[in-house]
Amino acid sequence: MKILLRNKWFVFFIILILILLLAAAGVFLWQKYKEPDVGYVFSDEFIITESGGEKIIEYKEGGFKMRIPGDWDTHNSNGVKLLFTSPDFQLHPNVGPFGAPLPEKGCSTALSIAKEGTFGTGHIGQLIEACPTIGQDCNEYKIIEINGNRGLKYIYSLEENLIPGQYISIEILKKKRVYIFEAHLFSQDRERCEREFDKILNTVEIRK
């Protein structure tokens, strides 16, 4: 009777060990093959407050903060992008119903945050390493630094388009996120708008 009881406990112990091993293997495989955390930060995850005549844009999970002039308007664009427009902004009449917010007058800039691994973001770190000198022209892009954070600056000249102008894109990789800043220089106020864009970039803080 004692031998039979010991055998039962031994079998129970072996089964318990196998269950634990299978559970551990399952967790390991799930961690290895689960879908990566990709996509964009949603517009409603940003916090917008006003202080000292400025609007403060924050994404607390990333330790992100930046400022825009207090009289600029903020818009939710496509659910994953914030659009900022100056008080004198007027949409260009040649922009279609689903077109980019290109101005005929005034300034238009935008902000979005992509999670690392999102399509089109994996190359940024490699490009910075391949061309590390700040201010250096590297074929299609330039290396810049904003408050200690290095990134890529692209300038697309579209002077021969139906709506002539320039599109500027700044991409900063910080840990597991890519911060994307855009300027749409298509209005009669291009020089002023580029200066305003530079002022906005100089307020950017990314602490995480």
What confidence score (pLDDT) does residue 176 get? 82
Stretch 90-112: mean pLDDT? 86
Over residues 47-60, the mean pLDDT reads 95
Residue 181: what pLDDT?
Answer: 97
Q: What is the pLDDT of residue 63?
A: 92
Instruction: Measure the CA dihedral 85/88/92/95, to 10°.
Output: 30
This prediction has a pTM of 0.77
Q: Count Cβ neighbours within 10 Å for each residue of 85-100 and write b for 16 or more, e otherwise.
A: bbeebeebeebeeeeb
pLDDT of 28 > 60? The answer is: no
What pLDDT, on a 0 to 100 scale, did the predictor assign at position 15? 54
- 180 has pLDDT over 50: yes
* Average predicted confidence (pLDDT) for the chain: 81
User: d(Cα 189, Cα 105) in Å, to the nearest integer?
Assistant: 7
pLDDT at 16 (0 to 100): 47
What is the CA 131 to chain-centroid distance, rounded?
Answer: 21
Q: Output the CA–CA distances (angstroms, integers) from residue 49 to 4, 35, 46, 53, 56, in the order listed.
A: 73, 34, 10, 11, 5
Token pair of 206 as six digits: 């990314």
